[in-house]
Structure 1
Amino acid sequence: MVTSMTGYGREEAGNGQVKVFAEIKTVNHRFCEYTIRMPRQLLALEEKVKKKANQYIRRGRVEIFLTVEGESLVSKKVKIDYDLADQYVGLMAEVKDKYKLEGSITLQDVLQLESIFMTEEVPAVPNDLEALFLQAVSGALENLKTMRAHEGQELALDMINQLNRFGEIVATVKKHAPSVVEKYKARLEIKLAELTDGLIEESRIVTEAAIFADKCDINEELTRLESHIRQFSGTLNENEPIGRKLDFLVQEMNREINTIGSKANDSAITKDVVEMKSLLEKLKEQVQNIE
């Protein structure tokens, strides 16, 4: 099955107190690369989320967004820096004694010292929050899988159409190729006859035609192209990531086309080569989207 690397999945889960959301987006990438954004209080779940995602995704750039609505994941607690408070109160007493000031140090005086009070955030993560997050992530991954599979089917249909047309052109070139030598031989006979007033040796024409035939022989390249087409078509039915294999086949097909273009001394074949290159470019673009 052909699977696209591009997709999106979203899911939510809740327990009445909190509701969690998981959004997953994937795009093309040569390898598998993750970016996970989630509340810092839940960073311990990152590896579990990634492990779950690895069951669905083998290749692509993956962005995972996890958010929470409802009860706060932290509680605040006020603390007093008693060491600092002791210093303040001690200094107040010294100032009072040194300058013979009236009155006493009161609670109000201490409360005005804002620097001795600190607010501390304490994690307050519900016990079932991890299960809710993993539930949401699993649902989002299933939705992502469905979308990637659907887009993959569309890509496969388009590539099959391109591949069929490509095979038709290869068959046309293969059928036309033998006539290239015959046409060259005929032109050669006419040219030599003009230059020698009709006094030409048949053996020379045969030799020159044989040399030309050897230089422009593209049977080997056409045979390999036919093999690559069969491999490409068969690979589309494999139940595993196939993007890299298809990319390799496209490169090999391009190599054979370039060789045919450089060898074939014929305008019709040159035209077919141009069309094959155009089709191959479209196939290459599609292959870049496949996992």
Structure 2
Amino acid sequence: MVRSMTGFGRGVTQTEHFQLTVEVRSVNHRFLEISSRFPKEWMEAELAAKKLIQSKVSRGKLDVSVFVNENHQHEQTMVINWPLVNAYKAARKELAAEVPLKEEWDMTELLKLEGALTVETAQLPHEEVIEAVRDALTEALNNLIAMREREGAVLYEVMCGFKQELVEQIDCIRAVSDDAVVKYREKLLLRIKEVTESTSVDERVLTEVAVFAEKIDIAEELDRLNSHLKQLDETLAEDISIGRKLDFLLQEIHRETNTIGSKNQSSEAFVAVVQMKSVLEKMREQVQNIE
């Protein structure tokens, strides 16, 4: 099955303490690259999320965003750093011996003591966070994959259309290549007749024709092209990541096409080779967006 690497998916889950929304966007990339934005205290959940993504997606640059909407405010606690407060107290007492200071501290002065008082907020339940991230992300990934498959279906039709164009051009090349040796033999005999006025075919003519036939023979290249196109059909039907394999196959098809072009002896084959190269370039552009 062909999948595009471009897509978007969103997943939402509700827990006792919060509502979690996960959004995943993906674009083309040679490999799998994941960029995520989780609350800093959710590191373990972020690692679990990346493992889940890796199990479902093979290629693409993915951007994962997490939005948390808490159902109510969590209980907050004031924590006193007593060793630090006592250190401040000792320092103040020492200063008071030289500098006039009030004997009693007010709350404003205490709050200005850096690190002496901190506010702690109760953390969301760990297991609840992990499960919520997994559920919301699974929904987001399923939606993302469904979108990539819809776009992939369009790409599949485009690739099949291009493949058919290649088949037509190959058939054209095969047809004219069968006549190339005959035409060369006739042309050679005509030139000999013009020079010698002889209609007999001596050994030198037969040798020249044989050498020419071997030089322009493209039967092997055409057979390999047919084999590559068969592999192309099989690959497009595979239910795995196929983008890199398709890219390799197109390189091989392009190589055989170049060889045919270098051996070509007819204007019809030249036009067909040029057309094949144009189609292959379009196919390679499309393959860049296939997972």
Task: Give TM class, smaller chain.
Answer: 0.7 to 0.9
Q: Match for residue 20 of structure 2? A: 20
What does residue range 77-226 of structure 1 map to in structure 2 within 5 Å? 77-97=77-97, 105-108=103-106, 111=109, 114-116=112-114, 117-122=116-121, 124-126=123-125, 128-194=128-194, 196-199=195-198, 202-203=201-202, 204-226=204-226
Q: Contact 1:36–1:65 (CA<8 Å) still a contact in 2?
A: yes
Deviates more, 1:229-238 or 1:148-157: 229-238
Letter in 1 for 2:179: S
Deviates more, 1:108-117 or 1:275-284: 108-117
Deviates more, 1:221-230 or 1:90-99: 90-99
- CA offset at residue 271 of structure 1? 0.7
Q: Distance in 1 between matches of 2:246 and 2:93?
A: 83
Letter in 2 for 1:229: L
5+ residue gaps, structure 2: none
Deviations 1:196-219 (A, max 9, x none): 242476222222121111111111
Q: Distance in 2 between matches of 1:129 and 1:49?
A: 11
Q: Which secondary structure state, in structure 1, belongs to the residue aligned with residue 240 of structure 2?
A: coil
Quick check: 1:271 aligned with 2:271?
Answer: yes
Deviates more, 1:158-167 or 1:73-82: 73-82
Q: Which secondary structure state, in structure 2, belongs to the residue aligned with residue 4 of structure 1?
A: coil
Q: Distance in 2 between matches of 1:250 and 1:267?
A: 24
Deviations 1:143-185 (A, max 9, x none): 0111111111111111111111111111111111021122222
- CA offset at residue 120 of structure 1? 4.5
5+ residue gaps, structure 1: none
Q: With structure 1 as the length reference, what TM-score do the two structures score?
A: 0.88
Letter in 2 for 1:8: F
Q: Which secondary structure state, in structure 1, belongs to the residue aligned with residue 56 of structure 2?
A: coil
Deviates more, 1:180-189 or 1:85-94: 85-94
Q: Distance in 1 between matches of 2:79 and 2:223?
A: 81
Q: Distance in 2 between matches of 1:268 and 1:222?
A: 16
Give aligned pairs, total: 288
Q: Contact 1:73–1:124 (CA<8 Å) still a contact in 2?
A: no
Task: Give the alignment's Cα RMSD to 1 decimal.
Answer: 2.6
Letter in 2 for 1:188: L
Q: Contact 1:75–1:124 (CA<8 Å) still a contact in 2?
A: no
- CA offset at residue 70 of structure 1? 2.6
Deviates more, 1:252-261 or 1:64-73: 64-73
Q: Contact 2:2–2:237 (CA<8 Å) still a contact in 1?
A: yes
Cα 1:193–1:123 change in 2 (3 A) is farther
Q: Which secondary structure state, in structure 2, belongs to the residue aligned with residue 10 of structure 1?
A: strand
